[in-house]
Structure 1
């Protein structure tokens, strides 16, 4: 594994929430041409699995990554080096996780899809940012897994690694402070709507029922718009109520094809919350609210009383704690288990490596290289 550690990177206009320093991949893909573009890099969204998690066609051909192909690539040919540079678009899985491994951290992980080709080059990597005591400075760690456990440096390469690391410093500084990035972060924060349901003490909310339903609640007010019968939402047998599943069924009853998500930025939302693209929500909101109002009337008729489930927009997201969500014990949010964040025991550097005064290049083992820089990368 190769790791580059920058302990102090200055950020202009840092986000109020430090875990939002990195932008979700699907938001980058949507606005890449008009807001904060990266020359020589493009992403086309194939599928969104959840906010911050998607499959993309990616194309990248800029200088630093070409050098990475030279130093860390494979002699098997260009098809084995597509993690860094691509002659043609390649399929990749990109995932962002926030407040992981620690509160305020942001982890962006990427993995190539090798199912359609053999690849003995680098195919997975991770980018981690962490706030420091100074709100305008972050530490940055970049890691990628080498193709073979016994991978060794070529003798000619070592003197040039320091120069490559300095170039990587400048590139990371530019990426995190590039023109338009503050606007892109704001768009990212507004990209999804978090919905929350309340007042369900008398049971789960209702769903529109078909005409042949034998166990339904009828309301005359729904006849005019085609929803006279309602049924209880049962969900999956033995499982707790889940708002995402309920709204997915509700939207299907309206013949609306939209995605509802129970996870956000690599973490599961609490059962009474879900996320939806703001664009999708604005398209279905008026019709949904009109029909959902009928659900309230049917719910009161079925259960008595004056209370009925209500839906809140733009709720503050709340996440299932690690204690309650056992899968968090297996490094959630990273698409590959062998990319981990762990404590590193650093060996001494040979005295003859005089070039490494401010950028320490340390060989820990035959297969792991650690770069560490304690300089402040100013943005001016």
Structure 2
């Protein structure tokens, strides 16, 4: 059984069951039961129409579950006749499921888990392994999310921005366990782009592709972080870069700029530079100006301070940094970098060590400690 095909079909089958009257939670459970049946029977007897087979079996599983539940007998009018087998409907419910799984009533963590389960077709175990939590914990999270959205009816268009934020959260988790969440986020965003015509969907897809293109160069052979300026650009995936730039250009041509397009434009400028020294930092500052205008994000302002330090000199970057809240994530690391650029190595070393204590993960912490040790060695300490 081809796992990719099954994961692609999962949201379609859930959508069909919901349109026939199943509540979301029961429909999702029925589809998972059908997938278990598929794993058992397809290798010896593969169906001619996998989607139709999954719909038929999932619907029967739903009927069995509903008929055995006395409390749900009020729904007899929904289940009094099983639709006859035949070719599956071509209606695509994927977009509806994206909106449902990213419903504002869900926490970001729950929305991510439900999206990976219902739209991505991942198992609870795979999602738990990817997020490094016990399977029972993830099962509870998914169950609560399903109960929350079971009574939701999307009788008006959902919020594309909310869906994009959920997908971006998935992408930023990167890789852990046997599921590559960055690749999964790209797959889901491609799927979303196929069913909704929105420049920000294209912007997010371009951003993901451009970042993913640098993945092989982000760590060395020992697994240590490699800063962008020191990465082997020959290891970047030029195919993904070309695709990301093409998608971004088409989105920008529609003249409906959004935050993901602006971020993708910054990533494209980094990808376009043959060496770190050739990076067009002045244009990057201009794109960060656009991003700040669109979002007023403190993180965008922090990144702008770095870019300004490269474009106009470290003092200019430090002046911009002084206007920001020092408690911002990575604020101290940026201050360390800019002070190093001014030649104040002692202060930079202290700030790198301080930033290491606040690092969000072990690889970043070790990188910052190495930076502090490097400067201390240069100062003879």
Give the TM bin, normalised by the shorter chain: under 0.3
The structure carrying a bigger strand percent of its residues is 1
The structure carrying a bigger helix percent of its residues is 2
